[in-house]
Amino acid sequence: MPDNKLNSDTRERILDVAERQFMAHGYEATSMRMITSMAEVNLAAVNYHFGSKEGLLRDVFRRRLTWLNRERLAALDALEQQANGAPLKPSQVLEAFFGTLLRIGEDESLGGMTFLRLLGRTLTDPSEFIRTFFAKEYAVVIERYKLALFRAVPDVPKAEIVWRLHFMLGAMSYAIAGTDILQVITGLEIGDISGKEEDGKSEARRLSERLMPFLLGGLRAALPNPADSYNQQQVPLAKTARNTSLEKKR
């Protein structure tokens, strides 16, 4: 008895609304009643279709990650086949990995920016369930890209590359998850970091144009000199810093 994905209308509607609500308020702060009322389905429908709230979250992600995993592997396959045994360029590997992800942001049928933000935010969620879920979902793809990066950047030690892959994932996820948040923090408008499409470029594309050079620069950066670790000889710290304009009351 194979899983007959019936794709009933209500099932998809629930997934769509859940995706948006989980993104907007987070998993814990989103109640099933919020979801079912906005999706205009009965409360019991969620448990019928997904078994539980966790099951719903799981399927919200699976719906998108299946495509993403397949596409990422295919992109790497295509590049390696075309390279004919030669190592890929670092930029190619990053394009395959991050460019594929960002294509989701340009295509509503793949989840759009809603899903990208949800993904970025959920990756740091501390819950055991979510953590192990992502570990399983990502394992195969990450492993292949790691190997590709080892070959693409042979002059950087492997351990260092793994760290940097880690950093790159962070910069990316955070940049996506935090657009609305960090635009406040950084204070600038950056030519409107949020939703609109101006000069014909989608938000995802504008982000990518900025992010890719940054990631490439970080990936290929000069190795750390173990002699000067941080916070030596550089900042003559007053042990008790004097007051600055900050120290506001309350």
Q: Residue length, the chain?
A: 250
Q: Minimum distance from CB of 47 to its own copies (Å)?
A: 19
Closer CB to its own copies, 32 or 102, in the complex:
102
CB 207 within 8 A of CB 176: yes
Of 8, 12, 29, 40, the one binding its own copies (CB under 8 A) is 29
Of 31-39, 104-112, 132-140, 148-156, the segment contacting DNA by CB under 7 A is: 31-39
Residue 143: half-sphere exposure toward Cβ, Cα within 13 Å = 6
| DSSP 8-class letter at 203 | H
CA gap 112, 102 in Å, rounded: 9
Of 26, 48, 66, 147, the one binding DNA (CB under 7 A) is 48
Residues 50-79, interacting with DNA (CB under 7 A) = 51-54
CA gap 220, 188 in Å, rounded: 28
Is residue 41 involved in binding DNA (CB under 7 A)?
yes
Closer CB to DNA, 32 or 176, in the complex:
32
The Cα angle at residue 192 between residues 191 and 198, in degrees rounded to 5: 80
> For the chain, first and last CA: distance in Å?
63
Site string (100-139) toward its own copies, x via CB under 8 A: --xx----------------xx-xxxxx---xx-xx--xx
Of 18-26, 39-47, 125-133, 186-194, the segment contacting DNA by CB under 7 A is: 39-47
CB 81 within 8 A of CB 148: no
Is residue 198 involved in binding its own copies (CB under 8 A)?
no
Of 8, 52, 186, 194, the one binding its own copies (CB under 8 A) is 186
CA gap 136, 146 in Å, rounded: 16
Where b means 16+ CB within 10 Å and e means fewer, 103-115 reads: bbbbeeebbbbbb
Of 4, 7, 109, 231, the one binding its own copies (CB under 8 A) is 231
Is residue 218 involved in binding its own copies (CB under 8 A)?
yes
Which spans of this chain sit near DNA (rule: CB under 7 A)?
A: 6, 8-11, 30-34, 41-45, 47-49, 51-54
